[in-house]
Each structure stands twice: as structure tokens, then as C-alpha cells.
Chains A and B, each alone.
Chain A
Amino acid sequence: MSNRVAVVGVGQTKYAAKRQDVSMAGLVREAAKRALDDAGMTWSDIDAVVIGKAPDMFEGVMMPELYLADALGAVGKPMLRVHTAGSVGGSTGVMATHLVSSGAHKRVLVVCYEKQSESNATWALSIRLPFTGGSVTGAGGYFAPVIRAYMRRSGAPDDIGIKVSVKDRLNALNNPYAHLKIPDISEEMVRESPMLWDPIRYLETCPSSDGACAVVLTDEDTAKGTPNPPAWVHGTAVRSEPTMGAGRDVVNPHAGRDCAKDVYAQAGVTDPRREIDCAEIYVPFSWYEPMWMENLGFAPEGEGWKMVDDGSTSMKGDLPINPSGGVLSSNPIGASGMCRFAEAALQVRGMAGDHQVDGAKLALGHAYGGGAQFFAMWMVGSEKPNA
């Protein structure tokens, strides 16, 4: 038995390759201030602040919560910093939810960010430890073989990744905060774009973005007094499995399947494909959409690609995936998971603007990280959950 939790404020920065108009502190304040405005609150209303981001070495600041405490109005309050690789935006949201559901706090500000332009993430990801040899080829080099294995396993036609890329880029045109906007995007354009890590083409990859995303979480009583409709948290879950484990399946990870089952059970969802109205899921390379359709139980194993092929995951389909344009359109790494969680909340609040899914009442936010061994999810709804 725990307390109900509401998302009463969401704030995002404009995502861009370089936000040199702001410092790191300015960047996180921009998102936090917008979330507070949405919640009808000021800094002093907040009881605790939780921040999440990817490795400290991305920006060269060790434990940046220390430097950011003042900028985020956290002085005199509890402040925590989560780091769970690429899933961190999600796991930070999950942890902050627990701070409210446990009764510890009534109003929690959650902020995730990355300012990749101030450092060199590729360098930070490629620190070669002594003795380890070296065939490091970046995130694309790691995930391309996984995608190839999925294509072999499922027999998916090779244009599925292209279709996902076009869909997400079209969705991004309706999101004012999206980083990549390619108005004349087409299947030909994606197909003709350079092959980087075969089978991944340039336009099938995510950009590298600066940006921050914030949410304000409250207990039920506090949510009554907020100006805009809340999103209610119906379930949260995290799962991790070993990175180098003999017998783990990187294509369809056990941890992702367990995490989804857990969050569905908490939300009372038995048929996710029918009951969930839309989902924001972590797709940094286009092929991850069909792969996650299977991992999340939206499609039987080997058939996730059919949901892409028949348009089910488009804005006109029965389960729109990434109405915001997703990670393929904006990728402030440490915030990318929080963007998914926040966008899911915007949908069920009816506040997603031009990329609103009509009548969305139940939405899934999803994040994964590392070599697909870390997962975090939440289910949000327009109605209060039972007990």
C-alpha cells in the first residue's frame, strides 16, 4: 500500500546540437522553470530535487548535483543524483516516484540533462582501459550487430528501419522542442543516406543533442490544487541484467520483458496492445522500434516489424509509438529517458499539442541503457489508479 503519485508539471528545453546560449546550470533551469510553471509552483514549493544524467565524464563535472544545487533551488533540501547509463532518465523518474509514494515528500522536482556540446561523449565512451585491445566503434558499432541478428531471427524486410526513421521524423515536425526537423524526409532520402555501421544508415541513427527535461511529481492532495490536469502514475518498474552474461539474449532481453510485465501488472493491464493508447519508447536506432514491440509484448516474437510495416505505430495507427519524434529526433542522452516519461505524461494530460494522440488515456514511458541490460518504465493515465 503506497500513496498515489501525480505528474503535475512537465518542462523541456529546445533540443539542439549546441545550446551555447546557456551554461549547464542555465540549461537545467530552463526545463525546471517550465515544469514549475506548468505545475503552478515556484522553487520554494519543492521538497526535494532528483537529477539524472549519463556519465560525469560527458561534461567533465564530477557529481554535478553539487554544482547544480543552487541553480535548481535545492539548497537546504534533499538532492539525489541517479546514474544508470542510458536508462537513467527513466530510472530517475522511477526513483522520484518512490520518494512521493513512500510519503517521504509531497512535491519532488526531477530534472535530467546532457550538454554534449561541452565535452566529447564519443571520447568518454571510448576510454581504452589498458590491456583490453581495441575494437571500439561507438554505440552504432555495438548495436548494429544486434540489429543484424534481429533481422536474421525475424526475417524482417530490410526497409523496416527506413520506415521507422521516416515516421519518427514526420512526428518530430509536430514537436516544437525536437532537435532534428527534416521537412522533406522520405524513404528514398533515408535509403540514400550513407551507411555508417551496416545495417545502420545515417538517417536511421539518433542525433547528439544538448537538452534537459523536467517533471514535477506530487502526492494526491497537492495535485488537487494544480492548474493543469495531472497524469497519474499507474506503475513503475526497473530491471537490470548482467552486461557480459553467458546466455543472455541481447536482441530480446529478459530484463526488458520482465520490466514490462511488472509495470503492466501494477497498472492492471492484461492486453497491452489494446489497452495502451500510445507509448514513448527509447529508439536510438530505427530498428529498435520493431525489436521493442516484441520485447514489450505488443507483438509476438518475430513479428514486431509487422506493426511498423502496416502502419500500426504511426500517428494514424492503433498504437502510436513516439508521437514526439522520439530519440531519433532528439537525444540529450541522460535526459532521453525522461523525455519519454514526460511525453507519455503529456499525452494522457491532453497537453501534447500538435503531436497529441486523440483521447489518450493510458501511455507507457520506456527507457533502456548500456548494452540493453538496463530498463526503466512507467505507465501513466488520465484517471487515478485504484488504491
Chain B
Amino acid sequence: MSETAEAPGPVTIVETPIHLDYKFTPGVAQSRFLRALERGEITGQRCPKCQKVYVPPRGACSMCGVATDEEVKLSGKGTITTFCVTQIPSPGLVPPYVTAWIRLDGSDITSMFLIQECDPAEVRLGMRVEAVWVEESELVPDLGNIKYFRPIDEPDAEYETYKDYV
């Protein structure tokens, strides 16, 4: 190196990868939910105080701060209370795709799921949908058992029946 060489510029970034492994425990309530999924069923839990049904259950009613125990089997049908059409790529998904907040029949809270087998432009508030499962041989204790939701041939729900579920 000659002495007249230009001084190197400042270091602006260094890469220091962090790798940490964790063993995750889903919890008692969620374990029961996952075992139900393994059987091809969706179960919620009812709050002993306010009687509302949570799905997926987390073992507590977060509004009342009490443990939930009573299992409630749900049909897998529900109503879209609101949704989003995503136009940007996401791993494993081709835009445009729809994610919807779905209130499953018999539950009192919404969960977010993909909507497929339907033109995104056709998705609307109040649309009735059902869960589409993986093949029975592929059932595992994972929410991924439900591939997505698809429309069913039922009239849209009235706005008044779902407007408070967002």
C-alpha cells in the first residue's frame, strides 16, 4: 500500500447475526385446542363470568381476568366482519389475497384467516364462509390444519349482527 492511498471511509454497518433457540410451550388451554384441531375440530372456551366464547382459547377471559375451562365445539362456519386485500407479496402467497376477520358461529371474538376459492373483488362484509381443512391424513396439532376459509351459499349476515365484532 502506498502512503498516498486514500483513508478508508467510516464503517457504517457491521453484521453480527444472533441465533437463539427456544422451546415453546403453548399452554394448557391451547394444547386442548391444538388436540382438537388434530381431530379436525375447532373448540373454543366459555368464560364462566361473562359467558363469552373465546377461540382460539388462551385459558383466560381477558376482559374478566378469570380462567376459562368449559369447552365449546364450533361448526367451522362464520361471518366476515371486516377484511383487507393485500396487494404486496408475502411468503407463500400471491397477491392480491384476502385476509378477513371472521367471527365463527357460536364464538364472541374474531380471528384472522385467509379467504380463498373466491375473487378478491367478490369478498364483502357480512359474507358467510367456512373452514377448509387439510386432508385427514395430514392433520397435526397446528392451526395450519385450516388452510383457509371459503364462501358458502348462504345469504350475507345483516350488518347489525356483526358490526360490533371488530
A interface, CB within 8 angstroms of B: 20-21, 60, 117-118, 129-135, 137, 140-141, 144-146, 148-149, 152-153, 194-198, 242-251
B35 to chain A, nearest CB (A): 11
A-B contact count (CB 8 A): 109
Tell me the residues in window 124-166 of chain B with beta carbons closer than 8 Å to chain A beta carbons. 125, 141-144, 146, 159, 163-164, 166
A214→B46 CA distance, assembly (Å): 46
Find B86's partner among A132, A137, A153 (CB 8 Å cutoff): A137
Chain A: which residue is nearest B30 at the CB level? A131
B77 at the interface (CB under 8 A from A): no
Structural contact, B87 and A141, CB atoms closer than 8 A? no
A363→B145 CA distance, assembly (Å): 51
Report if A153-B87 is in contact (Cβ < 8 Å); known contacts: A129-B24, A131-B141, A133-B146: no
Structural contact, A135 and B84, CB atoms closer than 8 A? no
B interface, CB within 8 angstroms of A: 10, 12-13, 16, 18, 24, 26, 30, 34, 47, 50, 52-54, 58, 61-63, 81-88, 90, 96, 99-101, 108-109, 112-114, 125, 141-144, 146, 159, 163-164, 166
A13→B43 CA distance, assembly (Å): 50
What chain A residues lie within 8 Å of B113 (beta carbons)?
Answer: 133, 135
Find B62's partner among A195, A196, A243 (CB 8 Å cutoff): A243
A249→B63 CA distance, assembly (Å): 12
A140→B90 CA distance, assembly (Å): 13
Find B99's partner among A20, A141, A244, A246 (CB 8 Å cutoff): A141
A133→B52 CA distance, assembly (Å): 23
Main SS at interface, chain A: loop
Structural contact, A134 and B144, CB atoms closer than 8 A? yes
Find B83's partner among A145, A195, A250 (CB 8 Å cutoff): A145
Give 15 pairs: A residue, B residue, CB < 8 Å, sorted on A: A130-B142, A131-B24, A131-B26, A131-B143, A133-B142, A133-B144, A140-B84, A145-B166, A148-B82, A196-B86, A198-B84, A243-B62, A246-B47, A246-B61, A249-B166
Structural contact, B83 and A148, CB atoms closer than 8 A? yes
Chain A: which residue is nearest B101 at the CB level? A145
A129→B166 CA distance, assembly (Å): 24
A135 to chain B, nearest CB (A): 5
Beyond contacts A129-B24, A144-B86, A245-B109: 9 other A-B pairs, Cβ-Cβ < 8 A, are A130-B142, A131-B143, A135-B112, A153-B163, A197-B87, A198-B87, A246-B50, A247-B164, A250-B166
What chain B residues lie within 8 Å of A197 (beta carbons)?
Answer: 84-88
Structural contact, A145 and B82, CB atoms closer than 8 A? yes
Structural contact, B143 and A144, CB atoms closer than 8 A? no
Structural contact, B87 and A196, CB atoms closer than 8 A? yes
A245→B61 CA distance, assembly (Å): 7
A145→B12 CA distance, assembly (Å): 39
What chain B residues lie within 8 Å of A145 (beta carbons)?
Answer: 82-84, 99-101, 112, 166
Chain A: which residue is nearest B88 at the CB level? A196
B98 to chain A, nearest CB (A): 9
A245→B141 CA distance, assembly (Å): 24
What chain A residues lie within 8 Å of B61 (beta carbons)?
Answer: 246
Chain B: which residue is nearest A20 at the CB level? B12
Report if A248-B87 is in contact (Cβ < 8 Å); known contacts: A60-B18, A133-B146, A146-B82: no
A207 to chain B, nearest CB (A): 16
Structural contact, B85 and A198, CB atoms closer than 8 A? yes
Q: 10 smallest A-B Cβ distances: which pairs? A: A133-B143, A242-B62, A144-B84, A20-B12, A198-B85, A246-B52, A246-B108, A145-B82, A149-B166, A149-B82
A77→B164 CA distance, assembly (Å): 49
Structural contact, A244 and B54, CB atoms closer than 8 A? yes
Structural contact, B84 and A245, CB atoms closer than 8 A? no
A198→B114 CA distance, assembly (Å): 15
A140→B84 CA distance, assembly (Å): 9
What chain A residues lie within 8 Å of B18 (beta carbons)?
Answer: 60
What chain A residues lie within 8 Å of B47 (beta carbons)?
Answer: 246
What chain B residues lie within 8 Å of A60 (beta carbons)?
Answer: 16, 18
B72 to chain A, nearest CB (A): 12
What chain A residues lie within 8 Å of B143 (beta carbons)?
Answer: 131-133
Chain B: which residue is nearest A127 at the CB level? B22
Most buried by B among A197, A246, A251: A246
Report if A141-B26 is in contact (Cβ < 8 Å); known contacts: A135-B114, A152-B125, A246-B108: no
Structural contact, B87 and A245, CB atoms closer than 8 A? no
Chain A: which residue is nearest B56 at the CB level? A132
B26 to chain A, nearest CB (A): 5
Chain B: which residue is nearest A130 at the CB level? B24
A249→B41 CA distance, assembly (Å): 28
